Every structure is written in structure tokens, then in C-alpha cells.
Structure 1
Amino acid sequence: MADKYTPAAIEEKWQQVWAEQGLDKTDEDASKPKFYALSMFPYPSGNLHMGHVRNYTITDVIARVRRMQGYRVLHPMGWDAFGLPAENAAIDRGIHPAKWTYQNIDQMRAQLQQLGLSYDWDREVATCSPDYYKWTQWSFIQFLKAGLAYQKEAAVNWDPIDQTVLANEQVDSEGKSWRSGAKVERKLLKQWFLKITDYADELLQDLDKLPGWPERVRLMQENWIGKSTGAKVVFTTEQGDDLEVFTTRPDTLWGATFMVLSPEHPLVEKLTTAEQKEAIATYQAEAAAKSDIDRTDEGKEKSGVWTGSYAINPVNGAKIPIWIADYVLMGYGTGAIMAVPAHDQRDFEFARKFNLEVRVVVQPEGDTLDGATIAEAWPGEGVMVHSGPLDGIPAGKGEGQSVEQAIAWLEAEGKGSGQDNFRLRDWLISRQRYWGVPIPVIHCPSCGTVPVPDEQLPVELPENVEFSGRGASPLSQLGDWVNVPCPTCGEAAKRETDTMDTFIDSSWYFLRFTDANNDGAIFDSAKANDWMPVDQYVGGIEHAILHLLYSRFFTKVLRDRGLINIDEPFSRLLTQGMVQGLTYMNPNKGGKDKWVPSELVANPDDPRDPETGEPLQRLYATMSKSKGNGVAPSDVISQYGADTARMFILFKAPPEKDLEWDAADVEGQYRFLNRVWRLVTEFAESPAATKSVGAHDRTPLPENLSKAEKDVRRAIHIAIKEISEDIEGDYQFNTAVSELMKLSNALTDAKCKDSPVYAEGIHTLVKLIAPFAPHIADELWSQLGQTGSIHQQGWPILDESALVADEITLVIQIMGKTRGTIEVPADSDKAALEKYARESYIAQKYLDGKEIIKVIVVPGKLVNFVAK
């Protein structure tokens, strides 16, 4: 028998062979259909975690199967390498961000290679490399030329720990930074934006072009884009200024009793009377210190200040007061709203607090509401009242109802117009940090903002910077770097010192992979159009809004610039679940102290806090250092091998579900691979193996197969069918691994081990397991005497005829007790089954001398005789 299965030696051997052979280089044969398989590339933190292993193994199996199916496959890897962690490490550890980042890249690349992932490393990119961010800067200039990039002063989200600006999408529902966890503050800064709002409608409509995406991801993007249909209406102030508002309920205009402006609205200063100046200024300062989340919290008590001025309602000429309140945001809509307190709860609470009029314009059926006495707003349907031309019309948004009628009346009277509005805001990309892509513009006192000429790209990050602290970009301190001549007029000018949000880097990397080594262009359009879109994208649900929305936006802009001809970057999306580890929690503690690693729990049957003795809750939670429940991939690989780690991660749960780490299941997959090893190597040493070398796909089968041969062949082709469908459909790798186990069991129990059918089964098993456990598969392939890598072989072909059973095993029961089985033709009807059963030796033995009272036949399964 061949040597014992030794993963470490086998995996090192084959990884070296694959590298020497260039096995994973991208096939450029245009006669083959293409398949682009891509995992979301990682930030180079230095260490892989089990979430990485799951993500990359899933994509690797898909890529390997497609290659065996005859596709040319693009399967690249790179590094999302800019960002705050590296710069913070520079400050905290005294190491340059570049050195820190490239050390981590080298370490993580080696870890990825240990897993046997079939990446084309010739296409590797790092977003912090000048030959990559040159084209990030070039892309920014394309946005600038298209009128899609602009700079303005705006109230922004400020992270007080990382000391930088955050986009709205980078602030969580509690008003905290997505990275540092700090409570976000508001600041007024001059910032760069990309006009994603210009594409809001297309981004929304084209979600219908993505049936291969999870429904919940599409819904998350739809809600974030947040399209509202309503009307634009202009109120006029006493001072003669226009106050434009957008409302989804223009039918309630006759019920507007006051207006509310954002404290940052540009007309506040002009509208504020002398008596109100001090109160307004105080309120503005208080509002500026709050995050958008705090300001729009539905549960907080309403606050505001009257400006002292009034506006004229355009539909009825009513004079209504103008207030400011922090629940109105300048970044949403127009920064001004008409308040209809009878039919909006937020406005109602504000009106009651400040004794403002509440005027009912929608009466529910069978009721009469009085604005002076109602206890809450009525937002529901009813009939329009006190609304001039709308009186008596049903209130609602359907055809012929009040909203539609109100828009028609406003347009006919020249008092407003129908309009769509979006929740989506322009993308704020400025960051006041060093470790990012320098924004390639120069500020000239005469020419204004001038893009850096293409021939001067990239604008490289200088290395001689001091990381003395956070708060302002170190770039602003480098006079030699900042002070440059204007590219247009030659006058003394200054570089932009903000860098770009790192989500810019990941918004186009998938396009660079199609032509990663192009020095003269961002990519060759023909190559990009050939490979794009990505056929299968795999990554975490946490990127449903940020990365995926930005990537869709970038793709559409580059399409409109004539660089590509696709509308969407990712055809299919798989969002894999989290990897969870066992931990314990003390509900009486808070923060990181509440977590107790499992190794510190002395008695799992009665878990208690080792410090306090209090009872602990046992649970699975996402692996992390703070919870003490992480499992290092290197530990698993060193003990069991990469193939076992891959098999476990695929078998334990469907890819879209969370996976609970279980050491016993890891051991189970290791035992399974050992069984496969013994099964194949025993056959490889048998006389039958030499007959199948190089001919396993062509050896003619006997004309008349025995029952044992038919059973084995049926098991083989059931496995081919089920595994292929599991991979082609919803990527149910867990059930595919189960089918591998079934085939292994069938071959172990086979009674025809000297038959060509058995040889077919052994070779098929090795082929089917190859995408899942690539190292052991190639080793077993060579031990079978085959030449070339198994990963260059064709995927097993299904023979439908082998699935049809000629015979079935029929169970014979007497009085409900099984007495034996017989083989009968598979197409036997109920009458034939009863006949075979009556004539069987079993019936003769157990029914001799007894009267048969009843015969129960279950087609295809059993015959039960009731006798006395």
C-alpha cells in the first residue's frame, strides 16, 4: 500500500509543482467561453481569518469546476491596501505605512498560497502601488471632466478618533464610525464629492438587471437610494426670497401651518430678526455638534427656534411662521420643509410643543377630526377637506386620488411641479489622512482648480512625512510637495492635500484585473469588454451598500466615458455567512469584559465566570480577538492540512448561512479524506489499476453488466448529477460534499472491484473531489498512474442511462415484519410485484400452511402479507 496520507508533504509538493507549471495562469484562448470568478479582495492586515478562508475557498471551487468544464477562467487576487489602519500603525508603532502594508501583503500572500487557491498571481494588484493608483487618479480626472467631481464647503461627519471625514454610508444607525466606533461629530469643511446622485435613477432601475443577486441586497440598495415621488413647491418669504420644498404629500399643502429650515440653511441669517439673533446662533451651534443620526432620532424631544419671519403659502396665501429645527438636514431635499402637523407626527409634536396651529385637511371615513383637540397626527387615508380645489377627493396616491390631483393643479396654476427625489446623497470622498490616493488637482489663484496633466501622473505620495498625530494630513506640512507651478499658467500654486476615500480604490479594481499589467492605459477596453462582467462575485453582506453601490456607479461612469460597454459589474453575487466560534458571555458585564473564551471555562456543563463565579451564557458568535473565540487557519492547516480546512468550511453549512466552528467536524473531514486515500491507493496497487492507466475515460464497459456493476455505475452518475447541480445552482457545497461521501461509501461496498466500472468510479471520485480538495486529488491522480494535473482534466460527463435502475430491491414482510428481500424488474406494476413476492422463496418459507387474508403493496418498496 502507498504511504500514509500526509497532508503537509503532499500540499507543499503540489503547490510547488503548480507554480513551476504555471497551472493557474489565465487561459487566453478566445475560442473557449469565459468565466470571471472573483472574491472581494482583502485589506492586508497580516493574518488570514476563517472568514477569509471561507470566502476564498468558495470562489476557488467555482473557478476550478469551470476550468474542468472547458471555460477560460479569470481568477485573480489583490490587496485593498490603503486606509487608516496602516497610518494608525505608523503613528502607534513608528513604522512607515508602506513598510507595514507590504510586510502584511507578503505574509498574507504566503497564507493564501498555503490554501492551494488557484489564483493567477501574475495579475496581482495592490491599490497602494503607484502603478495602480496612477489610474485611480486618472479615473478621478475623468469624473472631473464629466462634471461629476466637485468641491464645496459642507457639514460633514467627523470621526474624532481617526480624525477624518466619513461618508454618510460610513456612519452606523447609532451615529458611530463604521471603523473606530466613535460617536460621529459634525464639522463644516471644504470637501470633494462625486455626483452619484446623477445616476440615482439608473442605479435604482438597473437593480432589475441583477436577478443573480440576493433579494435582500437589492432591497438594501433600493432603500438606500430611496426614491420618493412628489412635488416641488416654492414658498415666498416676507423679504421676497424663494423657499423651495419637496413634498411627497402636495395634497396637504392647505394644511401647512409653519415652515422649518435646517439650521445650516443659507437663508437663516437673512430671515432672522434682530430679536431672535442670539437664540438662533445658540441653537445653530448646538445643532452643529450633533450627528445626523442624533438629529433625526424619532424618539427625541423636538426642539427649534423661530426666526421671527414669515412665509406665504402659495396655494392659499396664508402667512405662516418660519422656524429652524435640527431634525431638518441641509443634505436632504432642499433643507426646508412645509410642516403639516395634523398629518405628520413629527410636525405634530413640534406644533404642540410650541403652540402652533394644527389644521386638519384629511378627514377619515366616519370621523371628524378637530385640529385643536386631536392627540396625534392622522397620516392615513380619508377625504380631502378645507383644501380648495381638492375638497371631497379621496386622499391617497392612487390614480385620480388627491396626490395626483394636487400635482396636476399645481402645474396648471404655475405654483409647483411633479418631481422625484432621492435619499441618496453625493459621495463625499475627501479624507484628511496620508495613506490614500492623493487627489490629483492643483489650486491656482488665477486658473482655479486645475487637474494634474496625464503625463504627470501618478502624483506620488512622498515618503519623508512625519506621523506626529492625527487631525490634518501630513501632506499639508510638506512645502516642497505642496507648492508647485500651475500646469496651465505656470503661476505659483498648491496641490490638494486631501486623499481619497479608500472605497474609490475598490470601485474599479475588478476592471484592472482584466489587464493588470498595462502601463499605458487603465486597461485595454477590448480586454475589459471580453472578461466583464464578473460572472460570480463572492463577499460579505456588510458591503451591500458601500462597495457594491459605488462599484455600480463607477462602472456606469466609465461606460459613459466610452471605456467599457457594460451596465453592471457583477452578474451573480454570493454573500457568504460569517464564521462563528464558541464563546461564553457574562450578561452582568459590559464591553469586552463580558466575553469569556471557551478555554477559560473549567466546566462546559456548568459554565461560570473564572473571575466572579457567575453563570455564563454559552453561544456562538462571529470570531474575533475580543471574544476569544477565533481559530487561526494556520493552526488547522498545520494539524490537518489545507484540504481538510477547505472541506470542512464547505461542508459545515450552506455558503450563505453562518457557520459554527466545530473541531469534531474538522476531524470528521480529515477522517473522510483518509478513507478516500485508502480507497484510491488500494485500487492503484491492484492489477485492475494498470488496465485503466490513461484509458479510464475510453475503456469499453462490458455489454452485459452484472447487478453489482450496475449499482456502482448508478452511484457514480448520481454523484456526477447531484454535485454538478449543487455547483451550477445555488452553490450548495455542503450537499455536494455529502454526495462525495455517498460515492465513496458505494465504492467501498462495491462487489466488482476488478471491473472497469469500478475503475470508472475511482477515477470519477478523484475528479469530483479535485475542486474541493485539490492537493490530495492531484496526488491520487498521479498514484493512479495518470499524467498531467487532474485540474487539467475534463469534468465528469453524466450518462443519463446509468441512472435508470433495471432492478429494484423489494422488501418482503409478513405481518409487518421484514423477512427478506428479492430483486425484481424496476418497471414492475403492483400486480407483478405481488406475483414476484408470492412466488419468492421467502413467501414459500414463511406462509407455508397459512391463509393469506390481505396483501399490501407499496410500489418500488415492499410487499406485506397479512396471514393467519
Structure 2
Amino acid sequence: MPSDIEQKWQSKWESDGIYNAEDHVEGKKNYYALTMFPYPSGDLHMGHWYAYAPADAYARFKRMQGYNVMHPQGFDSFGLPAENAAIERGADARQWTYENIETARRQFRAMGTSYDWSRELVTSDPEYYRWNQYFFLQFYKNGLAYREHGQVNWCPKDQTTLANEQVKDGSCERCGASVVKRALPQWFFAITKYADELLQMDSIDWPEKIKTMQRNWIGRSTGTTIGFDVGEFAPGEKIETFTTRIDTVYGVTFVVLAPEHPLVEKLTQEPQRKVVEQYVAQAGKETEIERTSTEREKTGVATGAYCINPLNGERVPVLVGDYVLATYGTGAVMGVPAHDERDFIFAKKYDLEIRVVVAPPDWDGAELANAWIKDGLQVNSAEFNGMSSKDGKEAIADKIEAKKWGARTVTYHLRDWLISRQRYWGTPIPIIYCDDCGVTPVPEQDLPVLLPENVKFSPDGKSPLTKHAEFLNTTCPECGKAAKRETDTLDTFVCSSWYHLRFASPKPDEHPVDSKKISAWMPVSQYMGGAEHAVMHLLFSRFFNKALRDLGYVDFDEPY
């Protein structure tokens, strides 16, 4: 039977190690053919082969060209699908995952793939996630990992956080309660420290489409930050806004805060409080994509408070609008309806003043039919009248800086990477909380912090780690007193941000990577994956590589 013949020769090829790559082969140049590794969510299907068959064929082609090819495979095995499967089936997440891994291994082999299985890695193995924890500690020591409040989806009935995938039409998929946004302590990686370097992609041989997606996601903008005083309603406070069009600042007729902005509660006046609270609650049920959709009508409500434009001393109404995001810029925007299309529509809807301060050519003072967003001459702009808007932009910024009202600023769409997950099936974050010593990292010699097995999921949706006494209760490594472990786990993108390094130097016990082996294979010769990874996995991997370079683990700038 053909199946018998296939199995015989596949077994021989594997036992002979014909696809196992040596780090050095005399007369051959190394070629690292890397494909995205799969999540073991069940049987392999046509979608998997659509991605893996061409990659495997390409690796074979490079071998035929005379290269020493390393084409490894493994499993990105932590994540929410396994946890959901465990909840839905009453199964154990670990058992479900590893059964799927066994199935995938068998199916990969049955298809005759040319993988180097001697380098296989499984991210949910303690031998792998130990080094996730180790890198977290190095990042923490060097100011690249930090903890602060961040917005999460919160189910008030189950008293737990929810992933975006668990929110259906603004409701908890488990209990149906309305989901709200809530600020909770979260862990972040400081990816924005590398924003400018991440924009430098001239040396990367990638499709321009992928580079453009990353540039747009990073979103570098140069402009001016300016503060609008709200001391009349909140003593000592200012609303900080950022704009790339400071030449239009004399045309500000309103300021809009994101619903999550910390000043909303302070500024909302009692007659407006009920309507503002209802508006904020509704905004909390919607995703950022829904709120910022270009097809969606922009809405807002007045807080009843006013701020002062420092350039002309005018009192400007403060509104709350869900199209403004707390996670982007300062979480507040100055409304200049005569020179911004979105603001123009918003002002028309709410009967707000539309004041021209950058005049179109031959403007006769008439009301504008549409926002004028191009350059022009400064008008209604005090001492800057008659300047070109280009010159006005610089002159007005000079005045703002001289008066200490604000400063020229570079800002980014990119936010720091939120790595906390209130889930069980992931890498435990190696942090201990002590009443006396505060936030304390787990000593490196105590790694890995093991994920407990055979846990029980309760109907309230809370992570089992929050109730697992043996895991939760520990001692402080500093003072020896009773303490608690962090119960958040790491985003699974942490696992895949350095897996290419582990493939190149598999299974060292005392170090995460072997520098000699790394130098033989890295950077990756050809990465094969979908464009959907452009602004998540690929960007995170580039950041991780640059951070590891600066910490002395690698000596090259780009992973792929």
C-alpha cells in the first residue's frame, strides 16, 4: 500500500535526520527558512497547508540550490483558545493542548514535510517559558517593563476582566451583562522607546505594503502640545492637547475629552452629570475601532465646564466625545471646525462656532461650505495676521514655548505594549507583591515560576490563579515575610517575539540563547507568514530584537 511505503521512508528519513540542520557545513552557506509556527487548536486543515506547503517547498528549493537550510517547526501553544476550550468542555487546558500537539505532529509528518524536528519548541513547556520570565526580569531591571493603570473590558456581574474576543455586542459572552471599561493595574513593555528606530526599515527586504502598515501603526506626528486651563472648574488642572496644526489655534471653539479621560469626572457640572455618565457608560461598551470608524457619526455631550485658550484668553466649552481615545495622544483634542473636516461636521451638528483663521485664496469673509484644510494666510490670529500658515505655525509655536504654555512635540500612534492577561493559560509573570517591600521580582535562580496543573475554572470567569492558594501564596525574597504572586500571565505574543532565536540555538540549559549558534543563523534569511502579522507579531519581534541587542544578547538590529 502507498501509505505503508510512505510511512516506511518517512520513518527512515527522520531516523537518519536528513532534514536536521548542522550549524556549519563545509562549502555551504547557511539559510534560515522560518515559517510562523501554528497554534495547536485541533486538527490541521487546508488553511494550515495553504501557508505551510509553499514554505516547505521553498525550503526544499533552497536545499536544491546548495544551501545548508534550517527549516524548523514548533507550537505556539499558550493562549485563550485552549482556556476557552477547557471552560466549554470541562477539560484540562494543558491536556487539551498537548493532545492537539500530538495530532499536529502526526499530521505534519504524514504530509511529508521537511522540518528539522530536532529543534522543535513548545511555548507552554517550562523549559521555554522560563526564558519568557527571564527576559521579563531583564526588561524590568532596565526600565523596559513597568506597571501602571490601563483600560480593560470589565464584567461587573462576574467581577472579572474580559478579552476583546469575549465581548459580544457590548455584553459578556458568559453572563450577558453589559461590559464597561475599567482602569486596572497592568504590565507594559516600553516599545515606544524604540518608535523612531522601528520606523527605520530601509535595510529590511520586505514588501513595501508591510513596511507601510508598520509605519502607519507607529504613526509618528510632529506638532505642538498646548495646555488649556480649567482652573475655574478644577483648580490647578489643565487639558493637554496635541496638534499638528498649531497655526489654527486661534480658531479653537471647543475642546473634546475622551470618555475615559481622568478630568471628565472633575469637570462635569451637576446639571450635566447624569447625561455625561450615561454617555461615558455607553462609550465603554464599544470598541475603539467602532468609536473611530470614518463611517460613524461623531457624537458628544457638554460637561458644562469651560477651558481657557491661552493664545486669546477665550472661554471654550469642554465636551466629551467617544471619537476621542484615551489611548491616543493626550486623550483630548482641540476643536477647530473651520480647518478640520471631522470638527466641521461636529460643530454643525451641535451649533458650535466655526471661525476661519487660515484663509483660502481670495476668501471674502463668507461662511465656509466645507472645512479648509490646506495652507493659506493667517486671519483672526492677532499679531500673526497676514503670515502664511506655514510661517504662522512656526511663529505661534515659538510664542507658546516662550510663554511656557506648551512645547513642540513628537507623538506616536503606537502605544506601549500591554502584556498583562487576566488569564490562566499563559506564562506567569515573575513578580511578587509584599506589604513591606512592594513590587519585588522573582530571583532568577527561582525560575521558572511554574503554572499549576489540573486547575478548576469557576463560573464567575476569574482566572484560577487568583484562587490557587499554593500558587498565590509565597514568601518575599527580600524580607521573607508572607507575600502574594502576580496572577496575570504574559501576552502570548511574548512567546513568539523571540522563538526564532530559540530555534537557532535549541535547548541550552543555562542561557536563553547560545551566541555562537545565533551568529551562525541569524538574522532569518526568509520569514514566511501572512500580512495579518505586520503590526503585531512582526513589530513586537523587531522591538524584542532591538531590546535584546541593547541588553547584549544579540549583535544585529533586525530579526528578519
Does TM, scored on the shorter chain, surpass 0.5? yes
Tell me which residue corresponds to 1:234: 227
- The amino acid that maps onto 2:374 is G
Structure 2 contact 179–284 (Cα < 8 Å) conserved: no
TM alignment of 1:715-730, pairs within 5 A: none
Pick the aligned partner of 2:475 from 479, 485, 508.
Answer: 485
Structure 1 contact 186–291 (Cα < 8 Å) conserved: no
Deviation digits for residues 367-402 of structure 1, max 9, x if unmatched? 3354xx444322233222111343223335xxxx44
Tell me which residue corresponds to 1:252: 248
Q: How much does 1:219 deviate? A: 1.0
Find the aligned partners of 2:182 and 2:516 in 1 and give their Cα distance: 45
Pick the aligned partner of 1:45 from 41, 45, 50.
Answer: 41
Tell me which residue corresponds to 2:105: 109
Find the aligned partners of 2:210 and 2:132 in 1 and give their Cα distance: 27
Structure 1 contact 185–291 (Cα < 8 Å) conserved: no
Tell me which residue corresponds to 1:137: 133
Structure 1 contact 140–149 (Cα < 8 Å) conserved: yes
- Match status 1:394 vs 2:384: no
For the residue of structure 2 that corresponds to 1:229, the secondary structure is strand
For the residue of structure 2 that corresponds to 1:192, the secondary structure is strand
Deviation digits for residues 786-809 of structure 1, max 9, x if unmatched? xxxxxxxxxxxxxxxxxxxxxxxx
Q: How much does 1:183 deviate? A: 11
Pick the aligned partner of 1:151 from 147, 153, 163.
Answer: 147
Q: How much does 1:184 deviate? A: 8.1
Find the aligned partners of 1:117 and 1:470 in 2 and give their Cα distance: 44
Q: How much does 1:404 deviate? A: 3.9
TM alignment of 1:193-592, pairs within 5 A: 193-205=188-200, 207-210=201-204, 212-237=205-230, 238=232, 239-370=235-366, 373-395=367-389, 401-469=391-459, 471-570=461-560
Find the aligned partners of 2:277 and 2:179 in 1 and give their Cα distance: 22
5+ residue gaps, structure 1, are 1-5, 571-868
Pick the aligned partner of 2:6 from 6, 11, 20.
Answer: 11
Structure 1 contact 438–496 (Cα < 8 Å) conserved: yes
- The amino acid that maps onto 1:230 is G
RMSD between superposed Cα atoms in Å: 2.7
Structure 1 contact 262–328 (Cα < 8 Å) conserved: yes
- The amino acid that maps onto 1:542 is E
Taking a change above 3 Å as real, the CA distance of residues 355 and 68 of structure 1, as seen in their structure-2 partners, is closer
Q: How much does 1:451 deviate? A: 1.2
Find the aligned partners of 1:480 and 1:364 in 2 and give their Cα distance: 70
Deviation digits for residues 353-378 of structure 1, max 9, x if unmatched? 333322110111123354xx444322
Find the aligned partners of 2:389 and 2:251 in 1 and give their Cα distance: 13
Deviation digits for residues 756-793 of structure 1, max 9, x if unmatched? xxxxxxxxxxxxxxxxxxxxxxxxxxxxxxxxxxxxxx
- The amino acid that maps onto 1:485 is T
Tell me which residue corresponds to 2:71: 75
Tell me which residue corresponds to 2:23: 28
For the residue of structure 1 that corresponds to 2:337, the secondary structure is coil
Deviation larger for 105-114 or 62-71: 62-71
Tell me which residue corresponds to 2:61: 65
Q: How much does 1:22 deviate? A: 1.7
Find the aligned partners of 1:564 and 1:134 in 2 and give their Cα distance: 19
Structure 2 contact 179–285 (Cα < 8 Å) conserved: no
Taking a change above 3 Å as real, the CA distance of residues 46 and 351 of structure 1, as seen in their structure-2 partners, is closer
Q: Which has the larger radius of gyration?
A: 1
Taking a change above 3 Å as real, the CA distance of residues 484 and 313 of structure 1, as seen in their structure-2 partners, is same
Taking a change above 3 Å as real, the CA distance of residues 74 and 139 of structure 1, as seen in their structure-2 partners, is same
Taking a change above 3 Å as real, the CA distance of residues 19 and 301 of structure 1, as seen in their structure-2 partners, is closer
Q: How much does 1:159 deviate? A: 9.3
- The amino acid that maps onto 1:307 is T
Find the aligned partners of 1:165 and 1:448 in 2 and give their Cα distance: 27
- The amino acid that maps onto 2:433 is H
Structure 1 contact 533–566 (Cα < 8 Å) conserved: yes
Deviation digits for residues 221-254 of structure 1, max 9, x if unmatched? 1111111111111222233423221101010011
Taking a change above 3 Å as real, the CA distance of residues 470 and 199 of structure 1, as seen in their structure-2 partners, is farther
Structure 2 contact 338–372 (Cα < 8 Å) conserved: yes
Structure 2 contact 269–303 (Cα < 8 Å) conserved: yes
Find the aligned partners of 1:190 and 1:354 in 2 and give their Cα distance: 37
Q: How much does 1:324 deviate? A: 2.2
Q: How much does 1:536 deviate? A: 0.6
Tell me which residue corresponds to 1:620: none
Structure 2 contact 78–425 (Cα < 8 Å) conserved: yes
Find the aligned partners of 1:231 and 1:297 in 2 and give their Cα distance: 25
Taking a change above 3 Å as real, the CA distance of residues 176 and 112 of structure 1, as seen in their structure-2 partners, is farther
Find the aligned partners of 2:354 and 2:138 in 1 and give their Cα distance: 51
Find the aligned partners of 1:473 and 1:221 in 2 and give their Cα distance: 33
Structure 2 contact 256–332 (Cα < 8 Å) conserved: yes
Q: How much does 1:509 deviate? A: 0.7
Structure showing greater relative contact order (alpha-carbon pairs closer than 8 Å, 6 or more residues apart)? 2
Find the aligned partners of 2:460 and 2:423 in 1 and give their Cα distance: 8
Find the aligned partners of 2:357 and 2:166 in 1 and give their Cα distance: 38
Aligned length: 549
Q: When the two structures are superposed, what TM-score results if normalisation uses the length of structure 1?
A: 0.60
Find the aligned partners of 2:286 and 2:97 in 1 and give their Cα distance: 35
Tell me which residue corresponds to 1:122: 118
- The amino acid that maps onto 2:213 is M
Structure 2 contact 347–354 (Cα < 8 Å) conserved: yes
Structure 1 contact 251–390 (Cα < 8 Å) conserved: no
For the residue of structure 2 that corresponds to 1:494, the secondary structure is strand
Structure 2 contact 338–371 (Cα < 8 Å) conserved: yes
Structure 2 contact 24–520 (Cα < 8 Å) conserved: no
- The amino acid that maps onto 1:436 is G
Structure 2 contact 23–521 (Cα < 8 Å) conserved: no
Structure 2 contact 119–503 (Cα < 8 Å) conserved: yes
5+ residue gaps, structure 2, are none
Taking a change above 3 Å as real, the CA distance of residues 86 and 269 of structure 1, as seen in their structure-2 partners, is closer
Taking a change above 3 Å as real, the CA distance of residues 159 and 538 of structure 1, as seen in their structure-2 partners, is farther
For the residue of structure 2 that corresponds to 1:126, the secondary structure is coil
Deviation digits for residues 311-368 of structure 1, max 9, x if unmatched? 2212222222222222222111111221111112322233333333221101111233
Structure 1 contact 166–428 (Cα < 8 Å) conserved: no
Query: Which 4+ runs in 1 deviate beyond 4 A?
Result: 157-161, 163-167, 174-177, 182-185
Q: How much does 1:563 deviate? A: 0.4
Find the aligned partners of 1:540 and 1:43 in 2 and give their Cα distance: 14
Q: How much does 1:520 deviate? A: 0.9
Q: How much does 1:171 deviate? A: 11
Q: How much does 1:501 deviate? A: 1.5
Find the aligned partners of 2:363 and 2:527 in 1 and give their Cα distance: 55
- The amino acid that maps onto 1:209 is S
Pick the aligned partner of 1:95 from 85, 91, 98.
Answer: 91
Structure 2 contact 253–353 (Cα < 8 Å) conserved: yes
